[in-house]
Structure 1
Amino acid sequence: MAKSLLTTSLSARTKLLQTGVSLYNTSHGFHEEEVKKILEQFPGGSIDLQKNQNGIGILTLNNPNKMNAFSGVMMLQLLERVIELENWTEGKGLIVHGAKNTFCSGSDLNAVKALSTSENGVALSMFMQNTLTRFMRLPLISVALVQGWAMGGGAEFTTACDFRLMTVESVIRFVHKEMGIVPSWGGASRLVEIIGSRQALKVLSGTLKLDSKKALNMGFVDEVLQSSDEAKALEEAQEWLEQFVSGPPEVIRGLKKSVCSGRELYLEEALQNERDVLATLWGGPANLDAIAKRGKHTK
């Protein structure tokens, strides 16, 4: 019986990593359509997606009048963009940034005030945890480009990306304690994975202002960019990302899937996933082409 339950649990965990699978459903008390109807009542801003032919997408948080804070409609659009990216088979990389030199100031306070009950808070949490977990599992190498402020939910969003880049004057701050709450979009759990539990506790309980130097020193961000100009910083971010996404899309996407399984699954499941990914690549065009050029790799 115990072995049967373990096998069922392992199967369920593996299934969750499949593209397009939601983290929560009605068995968890999550009713997605009901949450969507609530979020539709709070318009403003947009989540814009540009998919380039080089396989790098640009996701823009666009609500500059409110420092790119998430309205309810923007939360809905984020899920729509994630689903679109799940089906972008030519994609290899993704840059997330905010319009007008600001990353994101979290949730629109108008929506927060209106959704003040515990039930609404939990429903919103499950919706965003689901969306950002699906985002994190995309077979794309993702980078958060932080310009200006990334606060609250905006700071949490950066943790769902594989890498983080900052401009010199930018600041990341988890302000949840000052709002009388805790991170609820998965940001605390992901922060622990990135910088460790001791550092994460300091950042969260101290509501520390992480400037670019401090964030780089603690290993939260990967590089500080030279330019603070919005367009030039975006160009720098693309150049930085290109070193990791050069090559055939199927190989880059396979690598990301393997890393995701290694992070989230038990060893036996992760090893099985590696074999499954390999089966789609071994003897394929990229593999055969690399073998044909083998001599060049040794020079």
Structure 2
Amino acid sequence: MYNGKAMRLKALEAGLVELTLDLQDSSVNKLDSLTLGELAEVVRLLERHGHEIEGLLISSAKPAFVVGADITEFTAAFARSEGELVEWIRQGQLLFGALEALPFPTVAAVNGLALGGGCELALAADFRVLAADARIGLPEVTLGLCPGWGGTVRLSRLIGAEAALDWMLAGKPQAAARALELGAVDRVVAAGELRDSALNLLRLAASGEPSLAAHRAHKQQPLADTPETRERLAELQRQHAGKLDRHYPAPAAILNALVRHATLPLDEALQIEACTFAVLAKSDVARALIGLFLGDQLVRKKARAWSGKAVPVRRSAVLGAGIMGGGVAFQSASSGVPIVMKDIRGEALELGLKTASQLLDRQIDKGRLDAAGKQWVLENIQPALDYQDFAGVDLVVEAVVENPRIKAAVLAEVEDRVPADAVLTSNTSTISIDLLAQGLKRPESFCGMHFFNPVQLMQLVEVIRGSCSSEATIARTVAYASAMGKTPIVVGDCPGFLVNRVLFPYFNGFNRLLRDGVDFERIDRVMEDFGWPMGPAYLADVIGIDTMVHADHVLQEGFPERMGHDGEPIMDALLASGALGQKNGKGFYEYTKDASGRRSRQPAEAARALIAERVLERVEVSDEEIVDRLMIPLCLEAVRCLEDGIVETAEEIDMGLLLGIGFPRFRGGALRYIDTQGLAVFARKAEAHARHGGLYQLTDDFRARLAAGRGYF
């Protein structure tokens, strides 16, 4: 009947037909422009032959039903005006409405995932049968959007406004059993029984049982517009409004749209949904979140390409059973790669194993692991005081103290104890890979592998390519990081690599504000309001004042023309006074624990007094100036990293900052933040603060982009 590039339509038995979704040259079904165009052709064909057809089964030939719209098409689509976007969305709504209005019953057989537009396609069908392991949901909020093809309307009328809001505001896929419990689907069956069960339901519906008219009416019927209904909706709005993050407009927009259209006829409700989608699609937040999604896809694609060229790591080793080494051992063992954890002290090994055991106990408490699973992980960690078991190791992570002399000595020592084709890596946050490679016999088999603390929580791993690092070395290291469930980004060798090189200009700006008499508690408050998970003073305490000072010295030495300080930095003075941050409870803040072990903090008067002695002059600055004086140097260093080729793409820089230092998601990353403001606006701000030194100076390439009207994306 129809055979396209994304779907095919064939006749089954006695008036029944099946529409099979099967997008060619793709591992998944997605609602791209090709698929939507073919769906429109199929619906017109079904309308013409409606008198001959008694029922339609919609199924998928892929492991998933439909994973959603094609997000790679959003950038071009969202360049339309708001009015044009409304009309574009309305075309999709009309298509799904035409499918819903076919003169015979339709059943969607949902396997795998039905997300976003895929969920809305299933909702447009009269009946839904889900495989027991399938999941269904509307995750548009995670991209700063709302459902646009009827999802806010049909789902809320099917399962109720409150349950629909829970789905849409969380954006998480729902298990099949939960969807059945709420009434979003009609049956849940074993995966192997999905098609037969869906066909049986279609036969029943074609015979008039259950009633097609009643089923459609239930899904489309608005709430009665009564004072009681209006009060219920107002209360629902009050309950949710106080929990929403003002930095993300989509949740509030979804809530407002649902409340507005709950009592309206279907078409009027869909119009409100379309207008809401168009407004959100034009927002900076949606642009940032979509950019991060595409950046994540790029980073994953690159990691897969590297991994495809790699000899896999079957057994690894970590040198040092401290916080980082123990975290690496836990992560590797949990991911199924056995690891030798070596230290020169038995008590350190005991502490490393205890730490791993505690992390596993937390997973057991959360129901993610059982006792047998814990034992399996622990058996994958082999403690060692010597190199006896290193003969079968494919990759070594050196994670000893951040001292170039000690690291170089340890690396040279282990190089002779591993196979000739083993890869050596250093978990260093700042020390040059080329410097550490100087004492090695096989520098081509060496690179950096920078994990972030705590290892089990932080997703990013910087794989640092030295000038001698071979392709095979980088490939195996990327593959190992990926096997551990991490997101590796390959970066060039320079002081601080990517993340710390970009982060420390931010702290340089912080130091200058302190010297101008701006209170650190106020700076923290302003930057947290800007969107950072913690302000610079609190972040410094969490990282550790000693760690901060060490890294700052490395960066000052590497980039003296930009990253030097006028006089002694405040953090150096804090460290000299004995303040280490959370490590000893004294930093910019003082830390205490209550009887239950919960940590609390308050500004340290000792820190305030120390800073007051070093204030050069008290300068009145606005909150906006505080933001600019911290963000301009951070963003310009990100620009320099791109220009220097430390990272290949703008997407990788922004993803690195998101995953490595918690850059505010809704702002999209440093380079996206520049683009959102516009290069001209950013340039004016930087020039207004040029007196603060080299970190505030625009680069020649930036000026060239500005003159050419080009951004970073």
TM range (shorter): 0.5 to 0.7
The answer to whether the 8 A contact 2:128-2:186 is kept is yes
Which of 12, 17, 31 in structure 2 is aligned with 1:57? 17
2:464 counterpart residue number: none
The one-letter amino acid paired with 1:148 is: G
Matched residue SS, 1:150: strand
The one-letter amino acid paired with 1:50 is: K
Alignment of 1:131-170 (within 5 A): 131-170=95-134
The 1:203–1:233 alpha-carbon spacing in structure 2 relative to 1, beyond 3 Å, is same
Distance 2:187 2:206 in 1: 17
The one-letter amino acid paired with 2:72 is: N
Deviations 1:23-48 (A, max 9, x none): xxxxxxxxxxxxxxxxxxxxx94122
The 1:45–1:122 alpha-carbon spacing in structure 2 relative to 1, beyond 3 Å, is farther
Which of 163, 185, 198 in structure 2 is aligned with 1:237? 198
Distance 1:260 1:210 in 2: 23
Alignment of 1:68-79 (within 5 A): 68-79=29-40
Matched residue SS, 1:59: strand
Shift of 1:104: 0.2
Matched residue SS, 2:125: coil
Which of 100, 106, 110 in structure 1 is aligned with 2:62? 100
Shift of 1:110: 2.3
Distance 2:186 2:215 in 1: 18
The answer to whether the 8 A contact 2:139-2:173 is kept is no
Shift of 1:116: 2.3
Matched residue SS, 1:100: coil
Shift of 1:192: 1.3
The 1:69–1:45 alpha-carbon spacing in structure 2 relative to 1, beyond 3 Å, is farther
Which of 11, 21, 46 in structure 1 is aligned with 2:6? 46
The one-letter amino acid paired with 2:32 is: S
Distance 2:119 2:164 in 1: 13
Distance 1:167 1:74 in 2: 23
Which of 181, 197, 208 in structure 1 is aligned with 2:172? 208
Q: Does 1:196 align with 2:156?
A: no
Shift of 1:260: 5.3
Distance 1:117 1:244 in 2: 43
The answer to whether the 8 A contact 1:66-1:108 is kept is no
The answer to whether the 8 A contact 2:99-2:124 is kept is yes
The answer to whether the 8 A contact 1:45-1:71 is kept is no
The one-letter amino acid paired with 1:243 is: L
Distance 2:214 2:184 in 1: 22
The one-letter amino acid paired with 2:39 is: L
Deviations 1:190-241 (A, max 9, x none): 1111111111111111113211111111111111112x24xx5222211222
The one-letter amino acid paired with 1:209 is: P
The one-letter amino acid paired with 1:164 is: R
Distance 2:171 2:185 in 1: 17
Q: Does 1:187 align with 2:151?
A: yes
The answer to whether the 8 A contact 1:137-1:257 is kept is no
The 1:203–1:179 alpha-carbon spacing in structure 2 relative to 1, beyond 3 Å, is same
The one-letter amino acid paired with 2:10 is: Q
Shift of 1:62: 1.4
The one-letter amino acid paired with 1:149 is: L
Matched residue SS, 2:17: strand
Q: Does 1:82 align with 2:43?
A: yes
Distance 1:169 1:260 in 2: 26
Alignment coverage as a number of residue pairs: 213
Distance 1:199 1:261 in 2: 19
The answer to whether the 8 A contact 2:130-2:194 is kept is no
Shift of 1:173: 1.7
Which of 79, 92, 107 in structure 2 is aligned with 1:117? 79
Shift of 1:140: 1.3
Distance 1:242 1:52 in 2: 11
2:655 counterpart residue number: none
TM-score (norm 2): 0.28
Shift of 1:66: 4.5
Deviations 1:55-94 (A, max 9, x none): 2211122126242001211111111111111122121111
Distance 2:74 2:104 in 1: 31
TM-score (norm 1): 0.65
Shift of 1:158: 1.1
The 1:128–1:199 alpha-carbon spacing in structure 2 relative to 1, beyond 3 Å, is same
Distance 1:264 1:177 in 2: 25
2:184 counterpart residue number: 220
Shift of 1:122: 2.6
Deviations 1:245-296 (A, max 9, x none): 137xxxx9xx74687579579xxxxxxxxxxxxxxxxxxxxxxxxxxxxxxx
Matched residue SS, 1:74: helix
The 1:62–1:124 alpha-carbon spacing in structure 2 relative to 1, beyond 3 Å, is farther
Distance 1:224 1:71 in 2: 28
The answer to whether the 8 A contact 1:202-1:208 is kept is no
Matched residue SS, 2:52: coil
Matched residue SS, 1:95: strand
2:384 counterpart residue number: none
The one-letter amino acid paired with 1:68 is: N
Distance 1:257 1:224 in 2: 22
Q: Which shifted more, 53-62 or 117-126?
A: 117-126
Matched residue SS, 1:101: coil
The one-letter amino acid paired with 2:183 is: G
Q: Structure 2, unaligned stretches of length 5 or more? A: 223-713
The one-letter amino acid paired with 2:70 is: D
Shift of 1:51: 2.5
The one-letter amino acid paired with 2:159 is: I
Aligned-pair RMSD on alpha carbons? 2.4
The answer to whether the 8 A contact 2:126-2:212 is kept is no
The answer to whether the 8 A contact 1:47-1:59 is kept is yes
Shift of 1:117: 2.1
Percent of paired sites with the same residue: 28
